[in-house]
Amino acid sequence: MNQRQDPIGVFDSGIGGISALQAMVRLMPRETFIYYGDSLNAPYGTKTPEEVRTCVRAVVNRLLDQQVKALVIACNTATSAAAETLRRELEIPVIGMEPALKPAHEIRHGGKILVLATPLTLRQPKFSALMDRYGEGAVRVPCEGLMELVEREDMDGARGYLEKLFSRFDLRWVDAVVLGCTHYVFLKSMIREMLPDHIAITEGSEGTARQLERVLKAAGLNREEGDGHVIFETSGPAEEIATMERFLSRRL
């Protein structure tokens, strides 16, 4: 059987990972993607690492049953908690995400870097290792509750949340803001409006998509013919599929 034709499994705790899925679909339009939103168990960011790994294992088993040729953890929290374990256990490629601190570090010119992420992501050893390498001037900014506002499409609530959050900082001395959760990428335009022009915004969707493409080509798993498509699945109510389809078409 030709594995090139098999789908790619992508998952997150809800709709946030669709921001990364958008980048993958643009870069690899011939591929078929199965996107699984584990909204029944969301949010991951306030759970313990053990709880997240339990949720992830259930999702991964479901995707493996559908013969996926690669797995993308489109969630910074789940990557931190489970990626290394999955790479040891699985024979297919596993691509994870991490807060885009490195590109923020590369454009920093003496100011602060605000890293917005879930509490669990910011507590994980994986993020601490990232901070050791690229964290000069970086400030951890836990955003408990922000992911849920995106899930509910409460943009007014998100705006109020972010205005209060940014009011805590003197933005004249901030060089970059890192969107360390895939859900936050859907707020990127809103955040851009709130910030002075000199502040860069970084996130990991494009980098994750490029890494997936590199890994597939290196393993001879990239699909070279045909038209791809996206299949949505959820652990929540069936009507969430329509929400996922709407988010896939959103302009970021």
DSSP code string of 219-234: TT----SS---EEEEE
* 161 vs 131: CA distance, rounded Å: 25
Is 181 one of the annotated active-site residues of the chain? yes
3-class SS at 112?
strand
* 48 vs 163: CA distance, rounded Å: 28
Is 143 one of the annotated active-site residues of the chain? no
The amino acid at residue 56 is V
List the catalytic residue out of 18, 21, 28, 75. Answer: 75
Number of H helices, E strands in the chain: 11, 9
Q: What does DSSP say about strands 70-73 and 94-95: parallel, antiparallel, or unpaired? A: parallel
List the catalytic residue out of 59, 181, 221, 244. Answer: 181
* 85 vs 5: CA distance, rounded Å: 26
Give catalytic residue positions: 75, 181
